[in-house]
A and B are shown apart, each in its own frame.
Chain A
Amino acid sequence: MSAEIQVDGNQINEAEIVISIPSYDECCDLANTVVKVDRGLNEFFNSRDSVIINCDHTSEDGLREIFLTTETQSPKIYITGNGSGGEGKLLRSCLRKVIELSASKLVIIEPRAANVQPGWILKMIEPLEKNFQFVAPIYVHHKDEDLLNSMVVYPLTRSLYGWRIRRPVGGELGLSKELIERVLEMDIWNGYVNNEGFAVCLSTLAMCFRKPMCQAFINQPRKTVEKGEGEFLTYFNGVVGSVFSLMEPLEKYWKKVKWSRPTAILGIGGEDAEPAEELETDVDMLHEKFLGGFRKYEEFWREVVSQTTYNKVQEIRNLDMNHFNFPAQTWTTILYDFAVAFRGKDDEYREHLLEALLPLFYGKALSYVKRTERMSVQQAEDTIEAECMVFEENKPYLISKWDDD
């Protein structure tokens, strides 16, 4: 059950634009996000009926009061659940609310992004006004930023569903009413999607439905609070578990897809891009975590991946830091083998499988960081693109393993 409080002085029955802000315990600065969103709506969409909705997951940390007492010109709706079912369940309540309000445009803004700007609202809504039905952001970023997305989620979703959405993990996303209606028809929700994977699920469905989609260039970096180790593990399991778990119900969509297609890029031009912040990646820590995986998961890896891949991983283990290299071919087959192993298993096995993948991810991340050490962001992007092609070229391997399973 979800509960709802409306704050505007009048009953809100209709809106054209909805901005949804999900929040949870660890949420950063909800008041700041609400103020910036409100400013964006007033600056760029003043004449439109807009509403800000807060989907509050737990409501135990005073977020409800913060949201309700933050002064805005736009009306607000507060939706909370009973704490079960995760963020995704609440966001589905929000999607239903968008339909109930007959709103044609929804933008989801994550309060984890500490530097949301009013202009982001324009960048995310403008494409929806031009009949695009799904908008994913491209931020200015450091080449080592969000390696889980660059090494795992982007290559996998691109090769599976055939669209080059560079940041399928969100955090900000724009959706049309038509797409939301299709999403709500689907019965694909599970613990992974509900907890950390809602954004990647929405991106995946947009790709499956082939609705006009685009990416909005945001000429600023997205600043987030760095995740602690435990939090990263939860995030890793949630996001990768979502990608793997969606492969079963969406099999008919991804199996037929060959290669990949680009999307339109909107929002280019205007002010000069703000440079990304410097990022120091701890390569020794990545190496240590990769090697540490052998102690715990070596035998398990042997069960999951092919013998050739396993032998290659052993070779990589013996490389010193100066020559460390995790080839794209090996990484691709590892991810494909893990995806097949995930299929149809119980929750306990799946959790173990995802935990066992993490050290290998650290190894791949280390290899990328070392390889791109002296590269520009553009050159690093070219490296990622080249690795994505390896995923696409090897898709027949995945399909063959999937069909044999």
Chain B
Amino acid sequence: MAKILVVDDEEHIRLLYSEELSEEGYDVITADSGYKLLEKIEKEKPDLVILDIKMVDYNGLDLLQDIRAKFFDLPVILSTAYDTFKEDIKSIAADYYVVKSFDLSELKSKIAMALEAKYSQEE
């Protein structure tokens, strides 16, 4: 069972993602901020991270840079309210991005693709 870490400062998003992704068979853990995120990743060893770009105290794109520097092949999906972040070159270090929505079909599809890509390279 793949373990997914959801990093988002909005509680309802963490709850929504947790419920729906758990139903898909994923083991979901959450974090409400970027605080000590790298330590959490080190400890929990998730297979994939869903990262909110705009949190109150943290910039998701900066966190993405930190994650990539330490865990170069950990899949990261950016979750965002708007897609204007694409103008920032840092965003290309993400596997995929999804615009936040109550319909999680796109997120689920991107999760499957990112995990499939990672596992296919590890074989």
Contact = CB atoms under 8 A, between A and B. Distances in A.
B86 interface: yes
Given A132-B72, A258-B120, A382-B86, A263 B113 contact: no
Size category of the A interface is 20 to 34
Contacts of A256: 120-121, 123
Contacts of B120: 162, 256-259
A261 B121 contact: yes
A259 B116 contact: yes
- Identify whether the interface residues of B are mostly helix, strand, loop, or mixed: helix
B118 interface: yes
A374 B86 CA distance: 18
A261 B69 contact: no
Interface string A256-274: 1111111111101000000
B72 A378 contact: no
A378 B92 CA distance: 11
B72 A268 contact: no
Contact of B93 (A162, A259, A264): A264
Contacts of B75: 261
Given A213-B72, A264-B72, A164 B118 contact: no
Contacts of B93: 262-265
A261 B118 contact: yes
A258 B89 CA distance: 24
B89 A138 contact: yes
Interface string B79-121: 0000000110110111100000000000000000110111011
B68 A210 contact: no
A262 B87 contact: no
A266 to B, nearest CB: 8
Contacts of B90: 265, 268
B92 A262 contact: yes
Given A164-B92, A268-B89, A261 B117 contact: yes
Interface of A: 130, 132, 138, 162, 164, 166, 210, 212-214, 217, 256-266, 268, 378, 382
